[in-house]
Structure 1
Amino acid sequence: MDDFREQGPLFTFGVIADIQYADIDDGLNFTQTRRRFYRNSLQLLKEARETWSQSATPPNFILQLGDIIDGFNKDHGASSGALDRVLEEFSLDSMDVHHVWGNHELYNFTRSELLKSRLNSAVLADGRAGGDIYAYSFSPFPGFTFVVLDAYDVSLLGVEEDSLRYQSAFTFIKQHNNNEDLNCPPVEFDSLEQRFTKFNGGFSVTQLDWLNRVLSSADKEQEKVSIVSHLPVHPCSTTPICLAWNFEELLSIIQRHSSVVCFIAGHDHDGGYYWDESTGVHHLTLEAVIETPPGNNAFGTVSVYEDRMVLKGTGRVSDIELLFP
């Protein structure tokens, strides 16, 4: 195993989550319990980008795990301007950036607007789920595939309230959450039912069928697959309030395929990690930039070897070694 280290990694990539930039003063989260550093998040992104670009071997690509700008931008009519500022920072280097969509993207823009925007990085895809589902796969190195999932394919966000898509999602969530404000979780803190809130979403049957086909092909080719989503899907890798609505269906698919080695998500600002011993899959939830104060940071660089990934974290993100099953 040490020989792999001596030879260097096959490739590397950067990871960063929940930047949530807005040109407004620091504030508090939805429950008024945690401070958020809206302007500082752009400075932390700059520091992350400079670290990546100045490394001896810059990453082959960056995974931006969603919530790139904050929903407050919509209230101030600043959505496009805020997005331009963040994407300008990313564009100062030539590394490809794979953008994941989170709830804050959908607070600021409709799905149709996002599909036409620079946050649609499916132009870098080798394969796509099709339609307006923002899910695609790409291969940065022979034998390795990454799958970007659309965790808000089933959602109340970014679609018209009179649309069939909205009505279907509304009917579904009301089976679990009877609160007038659907951003309020339905039950006590520890219950998995907490996930049924408006700021979460789920994966459609169409998307899950597509993922199953991608993984079946990867099994056959003996590839190693990492799946990326804004929402975590394993209860032990996050708090219940941050889980995808139908996480069980996603986990069921993963359990049927030997090719999956890792699931990477954001959304839970505290981060989390769990190794699923039954499948050998690592579930990594990255800490958020937006709740990282000045003088600290929250991003990482992952080196990929034949038998493992090694995450070198910065600031709030810890180092971790992810052995392949």
Structure 2
Amino acid sequence: MDECRFQEPLFTFGVIADVQYADIDDGYNYTRTRKRYYRSSLQLLKNALDAWRGARVPPLFVLQLGDLIDGFNKAHGASERALDAALRGFDSFPAPVHHVWGNHEFYNFSRSALLRSRLNSRQHADSSPGSAPARPDIYAYRFTPVPGFTFVVLDAYDVSLLGREESSEEYRGAMELIRRYNQNQDLNCPPDVKQRFTMFNGGFSQEQLDWLDAVLTSADEKQERVTIVSHLPAHPDSTDAVCLAWNCEELLAVIGSHKSVVCYMAGHAHDGGYHRDEDTGVHHLTLDGVIETSPYSDAFGIVSVYADRMELKGSGRVMDQLFLFS
């Protein structure tokens, strides 16, 4: 460990989740059991950006894991204004920012609007063929910051009631799927079994899963290390059951069929979580959310990447974590 302490990382990157900024007074979550700090979340985002700028090894990029602004902005006619405020710090940041889309993005904007917005960071994708799914409405892509390491951004609301036109085939298919498991009048109310089938979650289409399978097959052949990021957690031991992606089992099956995946990172569940899958060796990290973090604390991290591991150095609520590669 003494030798590890003095090793220089190959590169570092910043990570943050669920800022959910809104210029409104503090409130509570859906069940009114946890406090949410809407206005001060912008200062906590600034704290993260300042820390990354001042890091001994500056991050090559930042992963923003979704829900950058809160859905309450829509009701106040403040979606664009809130997004501008949240992105202002990122605009001057000296490294690329990869934005993941969460449910609160879709509370504020349609899918077509998000594809035209500054939250579409697909310009940072690899320029090689197959770096994104063939369907342009699926917000997923891969990027390679340094040789041997690939990151994949997944669209967890590709199959969803959120962001889709009610007259569309995609909406009808998502409604049919959720109604198989959730018969509640309010679809944001979880069913007793398979609680993840709520309106605030979503899933991955077969087209996206097939594309991911092809990306991972290529990474296997090149002996690359792959980190996958999305808004919704995939492993049931890394989060509460109500926060999982609809078809998490299918995603885990794709991940488990490849040796290249080392880590899956998500947000959505504000109290965080971690699990290492013993069968695959994949680390599943659910990052603590800024929105439920006191103004006197923090919730972000910086990850140092080495040839044999990644080390998460957390700030505030985010705990340190070691991700050894199998």
Give TM class, smaller chain.
over 0.9
Please give the alpha-carbon distance, in whole angstroms, between the structure 2 residues aligned to 1:3 and 1:148.
Answer: 33
Amino acid across the alignment from 2:266:
A
Cα offset, 1:4, TM superposition: 5.3
Q: Which position in structure 2 is the counterpart of 1:259?
A: 260
The amino acid of 1:200's aligned partner reads N
For residue 289 of structure 2, what is the aligned residue in structure 1?
Answer: 288
2:149 aligned with 1:176: no
Match of 2:46?
Answer: 46
Q: Is the 8 A contact 1:14 1:61 kept in 2?
A: yes
Q: Which residue of 1 aligns with 2:121?
A: 121
Query: Once the two structures are superposed, what CA deviation does each residue of 1:101-127 show, in whole Å capped at 9, x if it has no partner?
Result: 000000000000000000000000011
CA offsets, 1:252-305, max 9 Å, x none? 001100000000000000100000111010000000000001110100000000
What runs of 5+ residues in structure 1 fail to find an aligned partner?
A: none
Within the candidate set 156, 160, 185, 1:151 is matched to 156
String of CA shifts for 1:220-264, please: whole Å, max 9, x gaps.
Answer: 000000000100000000000000000000000011000000000
CA distance in 1, matches of 2:236, 2:2: 33
Is 210-219 or 53-62 further displaced after alignment?
Answer: 53-62
Deviation at 1:92, TM superposition (A): 2.5
Partner of 2:251: 250
Q: TM-score, normalised by structure 2?
A: 0.97
Indicate the residue corresponding to 2:313 in structure 1: 312
CA distance in 1: counterparts of 2:301 and 2:274, whole angstroms? 14
Residue deviations 1:60-115, cap 9 Å, x none?
10000000000000000100000000000112221110000000000000000000
Out of 160, 166, 172, the residue aligned to residue 161 of structure 1 is 166
- Calculate the aligned-residue CA RMSD, in Å: 1.0
The 5-angstrom pairing of residues 1-325 of structure 1 reads 3=3, 5-126=5-126, 127-130=131-134, 131-187=136-192, 191=193, 193-325=194-326
Q: CA deviation at 1:34?
A: 1.0
Answer yes or no: is the 8 Å Cα contact 2:11–2:57 preserved in 1. no
SS in 1 for 2:160: coil
The TM-score, its normalising length taken from structure 1, stands at 0.97
Question: Using the alignment, how far apart are the partners of 1:288 and 1:268 within structure 2?
Answer: 7
* Equivalent residue letter for 2:300: F
Indicate if the aligned counterparts of 1:67 and 1:101 stay in contact, CA closer than 8 A: yes
Instruction: State how far apart, in whole Å, the 2-side matches of 1:303 and 1:7 are.
Output: 10
